[in-house]
Amino acid sequence: AAAVAAEESSEKQGKVDGNGSRILVFVRLRPMNKKEKEAGSRCSVRVVNRRDVYLTEFANENDYLRLNRVRGRHFTFDAAFPESATQQEVYSTTTSELVEAVLQGRNGSVFCYGATGAGKTYTMLGTVENPGVMVLAIKDVFSKIRQRSCDGNHVVHLSYLEVYNETVRDLLSPGRPLVLREDKQGIVAAGLTQYRAYSTDEVMALLQQGNQNRTTEPTRANETSSRSHAILQVVIEYRVRDAAMNIVNRVGKLSLIDLAGSERALATDQRTLRSLEGANINRSLLALSSCINALVEGKKHIPYRNSKLTQLLKDSLGGTCNTIMIANISPSNLSFGETQNTVHWADRAKEIRTKVRDANEDQLPVPETETDQAKLVIELQKEN
């Protein structure tokens, strides 16, 4: 029993085992909003024990009491956040360990998905008073760097981009669409702004500005960015000495992704997926569904090439990355269909396994002359 418990707890942590590491999947329930209350909504979701999510189509107090006899279903996640969960709590539980791994030179990614209005942007970006995962992660990066060194050895770069209608745009410097290219680091958006960040204070304003640049649909002007995906990439680079005392350059990349609204586009079975593809609702989101399906089924070929989003996320999804998913849902029975879809999809994402690679490091060239050697020693002494 102890062995089982140990195995279970290493599973929960997303630790690497024989089959690789599992994606961590979280669900966040947002509070009922005014519009939903005014429409006489009932609550159709209940989060229990910080892990369990109960969905009940016709929920009221009596239904809760005899949950198994009504059309209720129960799901368990790595954690589930009730309406009352704070931004800090969501960040600490989902992402803070990942930030530690990225600071050790690994890649990681956090996705928020769910229907429009379910709380994705609130979770990722948040507000000035209640900053979300993107801002709290960067704050954490800077405070962890400060704890480690005070000599500027670490360099932090941010880029913020959007995929809308299969077009990639730079949110920090809007202009012409960016072209994706494959280089030795993987697929990159050519010409994307790499903003060198020095402190958290500048970052919130920068990201809010970037969010203003997200594409809004003319027909849904009040619901910003319902079909655009926003990706914040935080790249942390620094030098260390490896076991053989060589100087190596370590690079960790954290991708934080606010996906487009998933309404009508999340499909858990192939047939629905195909009919949706016919309707061409959101190619990138459908392609993401296909990749996840293929990963879950252990297929050899994962169709990353099918969309811009999946190309950009190739190193953040399957192979070599620590991946976290946060599914955002509304409590209202009026959104029950979407909530059900999101939760089913999240449940399926739990099956994905990834293989986490060693830290990304490049050995620096061996100095050829004594002067170079001396320079390097001085540099390193400065760094330590």
Q: How far apart are CA 55 and CA 70, in angstroms?
A: 10
Nearer to ligand ADP (CB atom), residue 288 or residue 321:
288
Encoded one letter per residue, x for contact with ligand ADP by CB under 6 A and - for no contact, window 90-119 reads ------------------------x-xxxx
Where in 72-131 is the site for Mg ion (CB under 5 A)?
120-121
Q: Applying CB under 6 A, does 250 fall inside the site for ligand ADP? A: no
Q: Residue number with the shortest CB distance to ligand ADP?
A: 119
Nearer to Mg ion, 120 or 154 (CB): 120
Distance (Å, whole) CA 230 – CA 163 = 7
Residue nearest to Mg ion (CB): 121
Give the C-alpha distances (Å, rounded to integers) separating 201 from 71, 86, 258: 48, 20, 21
Q: Smallest distance, Å, CB 186 to Mg ion? A: 26
Q: Is 121 annotated as a binding residue?
A: yes
List binders of ligand ADP among 300-339 (CB under 6 A).
328
Told to check if 122 binds ligand ADP by CB under 6 A, we report yes
317 contact partners, CB below 8 Å, separation of at least 6: 109, 291, 292, 295, 304, 310, 323, 354
- Residue 318 pairs in a beta bridge with none
Spell out, one character per residue from 12 to 41, where the chain touches ligand ADP: x when CB under 6 A holds, - when not: ------------------xx-x--------
Angle between helices 270-279 and 283-296 (to 10 degrees): 160
Say if CB 59 and CB 334 are below 8 A apart: no
Is 227 or 353 the residue whose CB approaches ligand ADP more closely? 227
Is residue 282 part of the contact set for Mg ion (CB under 5 A)?
A: no
116 annotated to bind ligand: yes
Which residues partner with 159 through β-bridges?
A: 233
Question: In this structure, what are the phi and psi dihedrals at residue 126, rounded to the nearest 5 degrees?
Answer: 75, -160
Nearer to ligand ADP, 116 or 339 (CB): 116
Tell me whether residue 262 or residue 311 sits nearer to ligand ADP (CB atom): 262
The 3-state secondary structure of 89-128 reads HHHHHHCHHHHHHHHCCCEEEEEEECCCCCCHHHHHCECC
- Residues lying near ligand ADP in the complex (CB under 6 A) are found at 30-31, 33, 114, 116-122, 261, 328
